[in-house]
Amino acid sequence: MDQWFPIVDAVTYENNAGTLMQTANKIVAKVIGAGKEYKAGDTVITALQASSVDLRSGELTLIIGPSGSGKTTLLSLLGCVIYPSFGEVWIDGIKVNELNEKSLAQIRLKKIGFVFQKFNLIAPLTALENVMMPLILQGINENEARTKAIAALEKVGMGDRMKNLSNDLSGGQQQRVAIARH
């Protein structure tokens, strides 16, 4: 028998910084009754029961729950990595349920930033090149991408390590490069 554990809690914290408070009410992502099911032969496995959540700019939302409760599946829906089996997923006012892969790739590129547990840096590239890559993929010219990437790396305290290859960085440094990349 397939067991399902509900997500225990979704807690939202508002940031008190003035600029964030001005935009805190804008919904940037919305899930409406969305869930995900997979078929394994004759068995239907529910990875995520119908769930709804609003994510607003300027807020930090924590999604917590036991293993198997659907946290990763919910994030995969929000990240446009998988389609919901039912319900709706909206990113910045765009319903993404039925978009083709090319359109989803553009949303992932321009609207969504993931910092993965295993940072997914490209090993033969420097920290600077890893941060520049998504900017160049967005069509930003190389000089502007370099300027933005340098600023982002300096902001996360990696200005002195931008010429290092990702394998030459500690785990914490790799994480900061991944944050600068988004």
**For residue range 82-102, what is the model confidence (pLDDT) as tens digits?**
999 999 999 999 999 989 988
* Residue 3 covered by a domain: no
Q: How far apart are CA 129 and CA 22, in angstroms?
A: 33
Share of the chain above pLDDT 90, in %: 46
Q: Same structural domain for residues 134 and 82?
A: no
Write the DSSP assignment of 37-69 as a string of letters: EEEETTEEEEEEEEEEEEEETTEEEEEE--TTS
Q: What is the mean pLDDT of residues 14-24?
A: 43
| Structure confidence at residue 108 as a pLDDT band (50, 70, 90) | confident
Angle (CA) 80 142 160, round 5°: 90
111-166 confidence digits (pLDDT tens): 887 766 667 889 899 999 999 998 998 899 999 999 999 999 999 999 999 999 98
Q: Which of 80, 110, 140 is the last residue of a domain?
A: 110
Note whether residue 53 is domain-resident: yes
CATH number for the domain harbouring residue 95? 3.40.50.300
| pLDDT at residue 22 in the model | 42
User: Are both 64 and 138 inside the same structural domain?
Assistant: no
d(CA 4, CA 67): 10
Query: How far is Cα 57 from Cα 113, in angstroms, rounded to an integer?
Result: 13
On whether both 93 and 41 belong to a single domain, the answer is: yes
Where in the sequence is the domain holding 51, given as residue range(s)? 9-110
pTM equals 0.60
What local confidence, expressed as pLDDT, does residue 171 receive? 86
Query: Residue 115: inside a domain, yes or no?
Result: no
Give the domain-ending residue among 110, 135, 154.
110
Residues 95 and 33 in one domain: yes
**What string of DSSP letters covers 57-105?**
TTEEEEEE--TTSSHHHHHHHHTTSS--SEEEEEETTEE-TT--HHHHH
Percent share of the chain, pLDDT over 70: 84
Total domain count, the chain: 2
> Do 72 and 148 have their domain in common?
no
Please name every residue paired with 62 in a beta bridge, in sequence order, or none if there are none: 11
